[in-house]
Structure 1
Amino acid sequence: MTSPGLDRERDAFRQSADGKTPRPPLTLVTRERLHSALDLGVGSPLTMVIAPAGTGKTVLLSDWVTRRRRAGEPVVWVPGQAPGSLQGFLERVAGAEDSQLLDPIVVDDAHLLPASTVAALARVLQEAPHALRLLLATRYDLPLPISELEIRGMALTLRSRDLRFNDAEATELVQAHAGNATADDISLVQEKTAGWAAALVLAARTLQASGDVVWPLANQRPVLDLLLGETLNTLDERVLAMLLSTFATTSLTGQLAAVLSGDSEAGSMLEDLAGSGLLVTAYADESASNPLYRYHPLLVELLRRRIATSAKDRQFVVTAHHRSALYYESHGASEAALRSALDADDVELVERILFGHGPALLAAGEAALVEAAFDALPAGYVGQHPQLYGVRGLLRRVTGDVAGAVQDAALADEVASESAPDALADAVLLRLWESRYGWHDVHAAIERARSLLTRAVLGPERLAWLLIELAAAETWADELDAALSHLDEALVTARMAGHHQLIAGGLAHRAVVQHVRGQIQSAAQSARAAVDAGGERGLPPEYAVRAQVVLGFAAVSELELDTACGYLQQVADADVAGSDTVVAGLRAMLRAVLLVERGRLGEALTELTSDPVAAGPLPTYLSRDLALLRSWLATLLGDKITVDAQLTVLERTGNATEAELIRAMTSMIQEDVPTALKLIEAGLEHPDIYPPLASAAASFRTVLLDRTGDDPAAEAALVDTLNRVTPQRMLHVLTSAGDEPAFLDRLRRHATGPNPHPFAAAALEKLSDYQAGWSQAGGMTPLGRTRPDANTPPPRRLDAVVNGARIRLTAREAEVLDQLALGSSYAEVAQALFITENTVKTHLISLYRKLGVDKRSAALRTARSVGLL
């Protein structure tokens, strides 16, 4: 027990020293978690609450003191600016060891205590800690044996990070000051203040007065500057310089802070600041052993205003940006390097990063950043540094300034022979792009690019982009093997560089090459991989349309027509789709296929009337695919003349084997079944036949064999058909056969038989659910026209002698003549025949010319007289 004399000393001190406890505000938020911490801490000799002004220290302690006093527990409150007889009391209790009767002593603003009093506190805590129960609130650490006591379990420290208002507390505090605050308002306030008590209250009052949170809090700025400015003024000059050098970085490591500030001790400074919790917060980084540091939003705002008014402070920032540009450049972070160079206002540094990394940034979708960098260069600067022509040309190309890109391409080409390899690569890359539009010879451009690749060492991003552009030109020039080889090289290079957009570009181009080779599902896999590689940024439009059109065809192939329509819409919405000839051709064909599937045969015919915009003759694969699609549509319409015309196109463009197989498949209309089978068998013997067409022909053979009654041969033909369609899931090519009940019956028996093909059940399910829109619209395949139970009308007479000359009508002209005889208008004829009114008029002009008339009534009269009606 303590001595009566000491007890009297304590009573006297309590009566003389107990200052007036500040009354908690009416809008107090009681923070139970912190009260519990203080209740725990008061059982030890020392509890420290260390945090800058405005963090709620006094409010917290006064609320805690009030609660304890209401419970009948004595507490002494001592203001730091008026410590009274605290020092004398400390000296008299220094030798005491029993603290059972000692009241807790709360010292507010302890940083204002005289040095002698702090020294006395330190002495008692070292010599007789059990004689005290102290709670000290201070804005910064005091020279007390805190660490020693914490190790012995005799001290508790609460810092700014502990005093920050969590979301629930912040909500209660803001609503107490602004009853009209919404959840979004509170979320914004909490985000901007990071739980700092004073700023929360000021923001809430602004909200209550104005009805809106306008950030920054202009009318409250003096208060914020006072609170934070006081904190900044206590910092060492080196620490302040480090903050000014690094505050513009969203998050940083100690190593990066050292780079930006040029101070090797920056990491230690950040660690110390994070200990206080107000200015800096440390976060665990799962990807690294060192923590990440972030600055309080209000501190960032204050520092930003400070550099705006101080040239000296501004220089810290400029120097830091210059260091960071060099740092990021050396670490391959070209985007961050260029942004830092722009902030450093260093023209030469901007130029060097633009030239070295501009193409990589453009390929990554950073056109806006590259454009900002060019805008930051002085007038005439590019002309004085001609190596930038190529980079600017690439920028203009990706931003749609075709005229500017062509102009820069010419300038880059003029100086190419005297330029470094990177500048020459840019010029060659632009030339490859131009050659695909007929502005330069594509083969010459390809050879020039190949020559460059054999003798120049390029950076990985430039090399990958050049290889992709070379492959695009080779694809246009029908050199598909070379294109695939260069795309593989591009993908390896882009992956080594970790450049996701170039990886995506290589995959998207590969998808197109695989598609035109009939590798439909392989192409779809490459397209999906391209989309995945694009990540959150997504694919640049030039690459996206390639992936989407390929995925659209893959969906058609699997009879997922609604999905295909979705992809077609994405392609149609893209500005770049029409400017790329290959994509434009594929887009037109995809739309035509879907129109046919919806039964809109006239619109499909219009879509396929003209070739896509082309730089000279179309590649053979585009000519092939367009001719095959046009011949299919003409077959559905019974237009043999158009079918024959498309066969001629196939032969002229080097696709004679495909033409031979189309003739075989349509021969059944004129020939008997055995003859048609023999022709189809001969066509299928060609090993390099286009796989989708071969699969369709195999399905025709199955139906014809079924009609002959040769069940074993028909069964073998069905298995061969399934073997052909399975690898690429080419279900769409089976729809003509699938429209035949006999084919579905055989497929059903096979799928439920003892040894079914692995793909038979899936094919049966899809084809059973499939509704042929073209069939419902009156289209007929050769199988349908020759079906044994079909009531096929006798062949329409197309030949006649008019005015002594023999004429022959086309099938379409005959259909138009029949519609005229029914009294149909031009619009009604167009609707009935699924063609446009302009097409109707074109057929009428030809019809009138052949009949030697100039109006409808005369045409009908003449046609009847010669037996055409």
Structure 2
Amino acid sequence: MPKRTRYLLIWSEETGRYELQERDSNTHTPFQEDEKWWRSWLTQQKSFAFQGRQGHITLLKEARKRGTDYWYAYRSQNRQTSKKYAGRTADLTIALLEELAESFINQTVPHKVGTPEPGLPKVNLKVDLQVEIPHPSPPYETTALEPKFRTPRLQATLVARERLWDRLDMGLQSKLILVCAPAGFGKTTLVSQWLNERCVTTIPVAWLSLDEGDNDPLRFWRSIITACQRFHPHIGHASLALLSPTLSPSLGFQPLETILTSFLNELARNTCTGIIILEEYHLITETRLHETLTFFLNHLPPDMHIIMLTRSRPAFPLVNWQARGELCEIQSAELRFSPEETRSFFQQTLFPSLPIPLSDELLHQINARVEGWAAGLRLLTLSIQSRSQQAKFEHVLKSFAGNQRSLQEYFVTEVLNVQSPKIQHFLLRTSILTTLTASLCDALLGRHDSQLLLEKVEQAGLFLEALDGSEAWYRYHALFAEAMRAEAQHLLDKETYRSLYLKASLWYEQQNLYTEAIETAFQAQDIGRVTILIEHLLETSENFVFGRSIFQRAPEFHTLRRWLEQLPEEVMSAHPLLCLGHAEAILFVAIMRQSAPLPPAMQQLEKALQMAENGWRHSGNQARLGEVLAFRAMVLRQPGAMHEAASYARQALALLPAEAVASRMMSRWFVGMGEQEEGNLNTALEAFLEVQAFCEALGHAPIKRANTVWLSGLYYALGELQQAAESYRQLLDEARLAEDIDDICDALLGLAQLSYEWNELATAEQQARDAFDLAQQLNNSELQVQATLILAHVELAYGDFSVAQRRCIAQLTSLPAALPQRSRLMRELQAMQAQLALAQDDFVAFERIWGNLTPVHELPHSQRNRETLLQARWLLRQDQAEAALDLLETMLPQAQLEGRTGTVWEIQLCMTLTHAALKHLPTARQQLQSLLTHIHAAGYIRLFLNEGEPLAALLQSLLPIVRGGAQRAMLKRLLHAFAQQRSTTESESLLLEPLSTQEQRVLHLLASGHSNPDIARRLTVSVNTVKVQVQSIYRKLKVNNRVEASEVARTLNLLS
């Protein structure tokens, strides 16, 4: 906590404004609501106190090495100090300060959970809100990446290459400009020069220099989105948050395509214009990155462009893009200097020091040797500058091979060896660095004049280029750096060479650049140091995923896995934390790829977990052992294995301390999932409500939304439809605000199911269609099947049996063969097909489908209940009412025990019809009357309508018996729904040719006064399709225009 601050910014009730008070004086200065003054004042302060309308806090500025300063808010209460991230100086406003002050107050108030709905269990929420909770870290830290975002600074003497600038100008009509050529062809210089000459004042540019470490998908896309914030300061924050994933109940990261969709939408909404430049893309070898960048390019807004500088053609659909005019490619043949450009180059770089005239013959010799290769020309000029006689110059020209095979020797003899010993010493030792700055070079060399040497080397043209920016960063040309490193390895002894990397690692660590510190420690072959640094990363709250810091930024799992798999097994076994980190990396790399770990990877994962468990059991570290058990529960979570996962989670809860909030919360999650799978719905609800309280107390929205999906589903299963609807609507609002497509899809599916139950078929259909579109976008077969089943039920309700059957068949054939849950999803679709066959009295088809249901190892409770109910209905239709009743009476107690209220009511409704079929009418009426009492609040409609006219007749017979109250109201509501359904069917039967479902929708919109384009937009079809459907409606209704169609539709009651 900071010491007493000099300034206090305070709200004055007396004056009704904010005042700035200096503590050592009695003066109160009115706060100036001038943004420029406020920013200037904040820049000068290191801390200040704030006493607002909502409470008091202290603000402290924390400096970052070579980066932006960040402000943090503090407040001490009950001898405990809490800390929250406030933002950069540019982010601080009075409104934000008030919000922060209020958040500290709210943090101390235990969360109040509303009184459970009738019939739901009372829950004793054991949430200790006095435990110190880690708060989210600041936005993705760019300090480590800063040199990567810098454009190379141009040299003073460059040849104007206007023919290539024109090509780049034309390339802006494409999405992708691919500049592809081997090293040394001047790709970077060309693009930098073009930007400076043609685009410097017209188009914003985001430059990103890639390296091998960028093969980690999280790092790659974080870097690109961070670079793109130059287009608009407020874009990308939501996407960066999604790229800092937290665990969800389903353990699914957002698919990268989903996150990129969110970012692309931000670019489009903010009408961003700009060029993204990806330098050294040939270093990217991760297939997943080629796939996601292809997706990004395919959906890039029209005013955005990507320029890719690469030594090889990337794995993109270049032929398709070329055919669509979306690709401009510049290759090595075009990049070679023409004779005229070569002459200009020598005249600018050597004149007047050229020892002999640049004749056409000499120019021809140069072109024959160098072949227009930019790096070769530059190297040749360095050699010529050190020669004063024609004979020596001609020797240089003749000895110059003009290719890259002899470059290392040439760089050494013609560049390195002609430098002073001091410069040679500097070049050889600093060549190990990817980017250079003075303090880093000083640390490497043990000197204090590196800035002067860097400037001298750059001015001498020794293949060192400065990067734009407020601080002096440089980099060597790749070919030159490779040659110098090779020479350093040759000249320096192993210990000296390794010590260079070790010194670099120490410098990086001091700057909190741990990724670079670890990479250079590996180069130094200092395994002990590597181990210490990685353990530090896993221990710190901003990087370790499981454990207590689950709420923070996730590490880059590809990178973590690569590091750990380079360590010897004896080192790993001595460090349990590294073993747990390795297991996490294996699992989450697979999850990010939207696949399960392959068997060899699972063996690796199990081995790592066992080593971690053995290590912490041996040392008696119960808390860490609890984290291993919680992680085992995570690995096992999937249908059919949740019982074992929940068992591990319970063991973890017995070991985890109270402050391990996140691990305890996740373990409670898995316990809840296990209880739900075992059919203990009320116990599961208790667990999920406890998790929800955790999330709300901690303010962690993503996990709260994920938990809400499960919670809402439980409400539905318990028959609490209104509670489920409220929960799903809240989820939808929050998910749309966060642009979380996965949660939006889940919310829409839940609401669609509820709309169907309430007989709001048009709404249910639209919600399910929207959900299906999102599921396709997510490439999520599970969600696609759920949407398909709801749409099939809606079409069944409309009587469109063939449409529903075709829908099921299409979804069946589209299921990927390698999908882990394929058998279960196939069976759900097949059961729907059987239901459709039974609805059409096609018993032959029903028996064929029923006899060929795909075997599933362990059916979920809900699917098993659906199939048993379907079998009972089939028995009833086969005049086997006694057998149907036996089956229903067998399943009823279990459903009641599990608390599946909705299923219980459906079973009892089927039993009512079965008693009626057996002529047990008093029993049937009594059971139906009891159902009306219980079901009134939930508002079930389709549950009754789906049973058809036999149930309608039974309900009609209750009219003389049920005389008032909720039962009478529900009875009348159901009879009205049956009458409405019957009326629609009878009205349609008056037509020679009935209207299709889609034509009914068009007719409703047409009668409401919507134009054809408006109808097309609402139904997501083309205007021509609407015109065809309108003409079909006119033909079937025997009318000629909209007015007549509306009148006939109302007469036939087709619009009810």
The answer to whether the superposition gives a TM-score over 0.5 is: no
Task: Flag the structure with higher helix content.
Answer: 1
Which of the two has higher C-alpha Rg?
1
Instruction: Classify the TM-score, shorter chain.
Output: 0.3 to 0.5
Higher relative contact order (Cα pairs below 8 Å, separated by 6+ residues): 2
TM-score by length of 2: 0.38
When normalised by structure 1's length, the TM-score is 0.45
